[in-house]
Amino acid sequence: MLITCFWLFVGTLRRVISLDLSNREIVVKNILQSEKKIRLEDLDGFETTIETSKSGNYEVLFLVKNNKTLVHISEFHLSNYKEIKSEIETKLKNLGFVPFSFFSDWKRYK
């Protein structure tokens, strides 16, 4: 039970709730408002997957550097996800679709 609670808490912290995208960098904030600035030129690209919840399926976009996920952007949490994804597609390389797995998801994070 304790492990499940910890997993849900940490998983929630990883979720982006605010994102500012410019030509050179992306600034993301999580639920605690901690801010992370990432230069777009430092990223390898992005991958997508589909996550499932009781409400349905949601697309998720991962910003990737050195085979590690730096940012997890979910359609579930951002109302303007499609606009954000369109903008990211013009700036970063699409590394493809990755089937979702809880275990591989945890290994991917830096």
Percent of the chain with pLDDT over 90: 40
Q: What is the pLDDT of residues 37-65, one digit of tens each?
A: 999 999 999 999 998 888 899 999 999 99
Sheet containing 16-21: give its strands across: 16-21, 25-30, 35-39
Is the sign of the CA dihedral 31, 33, 34, 40 positive or negative? positive
Total structural domains in the chain? 1
Q: Per-residue confidence at 105, pLDDT binned at 50, 70, 90? A: low
Confidence check: pLDDT of 35 > 90: no
DSSP 47-92: EEEEEEETTEEEEEEEEEETTEEEEEEETTT-TTHHHHHHHHHHHS
- What is the rounded distance in angstroms from the CA atom of residue 77 to the CA atom of residue 23? 23
CATH number at residue 48: 2.30.29
pTM (2 decimals)?
Answer: 0.77
Q: Per-residue confidence at 34, pLDDT binned at 50, 70, 90? A: confident
Domain span including residue 65: 2-108
